[in-house]
């Protein structure tokens, strides 16, 4: 059966609850890919949300914000969200299933990990499987992920329980256009940045705290000098060029 897309059904009014989703770290050479899912209080548009919750004024694509602004907004998002969640997929799993599939699994893990935020009063998280997903990019989560397919067949762990596939919409540039997606972008980015700072302490010499795992000249030079560490993605060109693979894109 064809997966239901929001484009196939009546448009969802912004005042209707939905789950905004975005990721961070897809293009890095080291560290995990992290996704966040956020449900915000009902609002008519971004201006109405800012009027309702002045603390959330300025939500936009995390890449357009300074690190200080992102760090200031992240706790406000958790405080004023109806619900929020994070999903992480680590390098060994990225190598097994490729970065695009790993990103899909991180997104669904974030949805499954939704926890009440400060504005959760009166909202039943049991409604979660019924809420539509709005995802930054041009791709939606494949039905196999909702069906509980294990992300890494080599693992002995049982697959996640199967869930009905929700309605979805992929929106290019959604992290700058849709408040809940912007909020997810900020939570994913700030969580991953803090994680990379911690990993820099465990794997010194690569500058992970500075470049957060992206392929800067300094990072590439460190890999050439020291060799990859366990947090590097061995299938990525630049870590092991002879094993480079074509990685999927969500834009």
- Higher-pLDDT residue of 15 and 85 is 85
Task: Decide if domain 6-243 falls under CATH 3.30.420.10.
Answer: yes
Predicted confidence (pLDDT) per residue in 43-71, tens digit? 766 777 878 788 888 899 999 999 999 99
pLDDT, tens digit (0-9, with 9 covering 90-100), for 145-156: 987 665 555 455
Residue 41 pLDDT exceeds 60: yes
Three-class DSSP labels, the chain: CCCCEHHHCCCCCCCCCCEEEEEECCCCCECCEEEEEEECCCCCCHHHHHHHCHHHCCCCCHHHCCHHHHHHHHHHHHHHCCEEEEEEECHHHHHHHCHHHHHHHHHHHHHHCCEECCCCCCCCHHHHHHCCEEEECCCCCCHHHHCCCCCCCCCCCCCCCCCCCCCEEEECCHHHHCHHHHHHHHHHHHHHHHHHHHHHHHCCCCCHHHHCCCCCHHHHHHHHHHCCCCCECCCCCCCCHHHCCCCCCCC
> Whole-model pTM?
0.86
């Amino acid at each position: 059966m064809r997966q239901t897309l929001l484009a196939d059904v009546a448009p969802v009014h912004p005042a209707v609850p939905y789950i905004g989703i975005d990721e961070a770290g897809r293009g890095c050479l080291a560290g995990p890919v992290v996704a966040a899912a956020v449900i915000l209080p009902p609002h008519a548009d971004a201006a109405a949300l800012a009027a309702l919750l002045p603390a959330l004024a300025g939500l936009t694509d995390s890449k357009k914000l300074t690190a200080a602004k992102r760090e200031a907004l992240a706790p406000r998002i958790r405080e004023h969200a109806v619900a929020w969640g994070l999903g992480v997929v680590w390098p060994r799993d990225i190598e097994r299933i490729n970065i695009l599939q790993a990103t899909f699994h991180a997104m669904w893990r974030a949805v499954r990990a939704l926890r009440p935020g400060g504005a959760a009063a009166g909202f039943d998280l049991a409604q979660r499987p019924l809420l539509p997903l709005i995802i930054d990019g041009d791709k939606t989560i494949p039905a196999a992920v909702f069906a509980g397919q294990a992300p890494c067949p080599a693992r002995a762990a049982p697959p996640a329980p199967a869930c009905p596939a929700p309605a979805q919409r992929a929106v290019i540039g959604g992290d700058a256009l849709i408040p809940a997606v912007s909020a997810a972008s900020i939570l994913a980015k700030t969580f991953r940045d803090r994680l990379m700072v911690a990993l820099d302490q465990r794997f010194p010499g690569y500058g992970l705290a500075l470049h957060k795992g992206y392929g800067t000249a300094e990072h590439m030079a460190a890999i050439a000098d020291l060799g990859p560490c366990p947090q590097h993605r061995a299938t990525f060109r630049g870590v092991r060029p002879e094993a480079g693979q074509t990685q999927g894109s969500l834009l």
